[in-house]
Amino acid sequence: MKSKSPQPNNFAFLLTGLMLLILLPPCLRLFVADKVDTETQWALLLMGFSLYAIISVWSLYQNRWFFLIGLALALLNTALVVVLFLHNQIIYSDSFTINVFLIVTLFSVLNCFSAGRYVFSWQHSDANSLIGAVCIYLLLGFIYALLYTMFCVFWPQGAFQGMVFANETIHFDRFLYFSFVTLTTSGYGDITPLNPLLRTLAFLEMITGQFYMAVLVSGLVAHFIGLRMSR
């Protein structure tokens, strides 16, 4: 099926959702963690996931099938959050947590693929293309943070040095921090993976981040040189 023309600045929806989700976890730790219990913190975080999906799904409107799949994932995630509020006792269920994170991961991968198709077609030289390139980079860090979180749900002990896992706190803000530090190869060393599988995932993220920036910069340079020569 033929893709629809993208909406003007359609990736602004995705960037808005991503910024909300990146800022929410540290704000929960700074302003909410000492005032409410862990269940409420988890509920607020999952509400943020749901809001992120609802806002970001409009960036997929350029393609009918992508939009329908993204909308289905967003509605499914919202339904799970509603179930959470009706049955608070499932908040510590590993299966429930994994289901929510898997849905958000699939939704983010779909958005990343959609933005990549638009940006790396090199057919557009506009603000929407630039916003899409930023969104891809943020999505990469966010997706890896989700993967680290899901791994530590099943294997928390001995996963990271610099993180102590306990039921009275949530750690997604730390996973986000570690993910973006790894993606940019900053390597501060305050949090380091100990599990061999996590170490593999970490260096794959480093390679992904470096490869993405190399391809993006070289492609942009070639694209603008081609435009100048054609003029």
Crossing angle for the helix pair 64-86 and 94-119, nearest 10 degrees?
A: 160
Residue 123 lies in a domain: yes
Q: Are 56 and 18 in contact (CB under 8 A)?
A: yes
Residue 124 lies in a domain: yes
Q: Which domain holds residue 98?
A: 11-155+167-181
Q: Which pairs from 162-167 meet CB under 8 Å and 24+ separation?
A: 162/190, 162/191, 162/192, 163/191, 167/38, 167/92
pLDDT at 4 over 60: no
Residue 195 lies in a domain: no
Phi/psi class of residue 41: alpha, beta or left (left: φ > 0; alpha: ψ in -120 to 50)? alpha
- Each residue's pLDDT tens digit, 185-216: 988 888 899 989 999 999 999 999 999 999 98
| Number of structural domains found in the chain | 1
Residue 54 lies in a domain: yes
Question: Phi and psi for 192 in degrees, rounded to 5?
Answer: -135, 140
pTM, rounded to two decimals: 0.89
- Each residue's pLDDT tens digit, 123-168: 877 888 889 999 999 999 999 999 998 888 888 777 888 777 665 5
Distance between CA atoms of residues 69 and 103, nearest Å: 11
For residue 212, give the nearest of 140, 130, 127, 163 by alpha carbon. Answer: 140
Q: Are 139 and 108 in contact (CB under 8 A)?
A: yes
Q: Angle at CA 75, nearest 5°, toward 70 and 77?
A: 95
What would the mean pLDDT of 49-57 be, rounded to a whole number? 94
pLDDT at 2 over 60: no
- Each residue's pLDDT tens digit, 80-97: 888 877 766 555 566 777
